[in-house]
Amino acid sequence: MVHSEECDIIFRLKGILEFACQLDNPNGAQSQGTISKSFQGLQSKVSSKNIVLTVCNSPVLIWPNTGFQSNVESLTEASSCGDILQYIELDYSGSKKSSKKKDKKKSGPTVVNMKLLFEVTEPAGNEAPSLIRVSTQQHCVKMPLPLDCVLSVTTDESLTTVCTGLVEALNKQLADMEEVVLRYRKGSSFLVPQPFHFQLPEPAGFTTVIYPAGVPDSQLQDAREDLHKRFKLPSDRPYLRRANAFHFPDAAYKDGYLRNPHIHLNPPNIEDAKLYLVQGVYSYHHYMQDRVDDDGWGCAYRSLQTICSWFQQQGYVETAVPTHTQIQQALVDVGDKEPRFVGSRQWIGSIEVQAVLNQLLGVTSKIMFVSQGSELTTKGRELANHFQTEGTPVMIGGGVLAHTILGVAWSENTGQIRFLILDPHYTGGEDLQTITDKGWCGWKGPEFWDQNAYYNLCLPQRPKTI
């Protein structure tokens, strides 16, 4: 099912089904048929009348395979899926501050979470239990299948259509899981198939891919190549690594860092200007985070951390965002600094940021030099081209300050330009409203820069890989 910008609601259905089968000979020719038969049994189960969908944080129960039946009288097969929202108790506890803003952009579609259940009681029949004795040695295989299906719709779609689509998605996901289990099993050793959702460029849209648990991305290159060909994706950047998985709007990030605060800003009002913005997801790193008091000296370190987080969250690297100490040690390792530099409070600049990115991430960067801040107004075309082609955050250092440039609004006709700045000098908590209202993440004019200071800009380049 395609997820587009016009999507109003994402229905997400999760549940656990237990896979079980008896293998006479795990390596025998018949074992594949036995495994497939067990998956067919699970597909029959999700297509049966016993399946029940419960809407989280609500009293709503739906029986999707009985011509649409609900325990709420007002919800019928003619109801639109938007009607279900009135029964859901919303939890604003984690986002009160950011939800007060009325002039900011909408953060995304509404997510309706659902759980997969089954009725276990049925009318008793006249059948008597039967016992079967098996004298041959068998291997019993059991594992949980973590089903996770999504459906993107507009609010006027019918609930019947949604329920039918979710059951179809369950069946397709089981078929995809069967394929992964068969491909990666070794005898009676099975890897749990795990679903990941990706928001791909149109027309592919919202897509679910099954990967085997325990197999790192580095060993799934062939699978990704096949998927890139199937969805006609570019072959020079990752779209389908686990780190690229779609982040649902209602899910909090566990590490506590804010992601992409710039998406909550309105664009600047410049006639005939186009926006050229960072592509993908980054974390906002700034002064005083991670129990490190770097106020007054650590701004370039924080800008570097933001850049590293971008490469991590786009799937280019699996290493953690480096600490101040690790950044300093990297500069010692490449011969740029003396050993006593580690543990100091010495500043770093764009050249050092370039060196660390290459040393720790294997990422190359271009350096742009301007002799005075007033010249930055003439760099609109080069910065626009960078964000169009590379899409990485840019570190800029001048005088005693460092900032991160996330994009530009630039008019090719008039030359007018505004810079989207992420300021690492912020010392407060992760309060989105304060950060956007006070300009710690915001659009700045040319006067923002020291007109007489020279600046170096570090423009990281994307590795050509999937």
Picking from 62, 108, 113, 115, the residue whose alpha carbon sits closest to that of residue 90 is 113
Taking phi over 0 as left and psi of -120 to 50 as alpha, with beta for the rest, 64 belongs to alpha
Is 423 designated active site?
yes
Question: Which one from 299, 308, 441, 458 is the annotated catalytic residue?
Answer: 299
On whether the CB atoms of residues 384 and 270 are closer than 8 A, the answer is: no
Active-site option among 217, 324, 423, 441: 423
State the DSSP code for 247: P
DSSP H helix total and E strand total for the chain: 9, 15
Q: How far apart are CA 274 and CA 385, in angstroms?
A: 12
Contacts (Cβ under 8 Å, ≥6 apart) of 73: none
Sheet strand arrangement including 69-70? 69-70, 61-63, 51-55, 110-118, 9-23, 139-153
The answer to whether 121 and 21 are in contact (CB under 8 A) is: no
| CB distance 466 to 240 below 8 Å | yes
Is 149 part of the annotated catalytic residue set?
no
> d(Cα 299, Cα 311) in Å, to the nearest integer?
19
Q: Which of 8, 247, 336, 425 is catalytic?
A: 425
Known catalytic membership, residue 425: yes
Q: How many CB atoms lie within 10 A of CB 28?
A: 12
Active site residues: 299, 423, 425
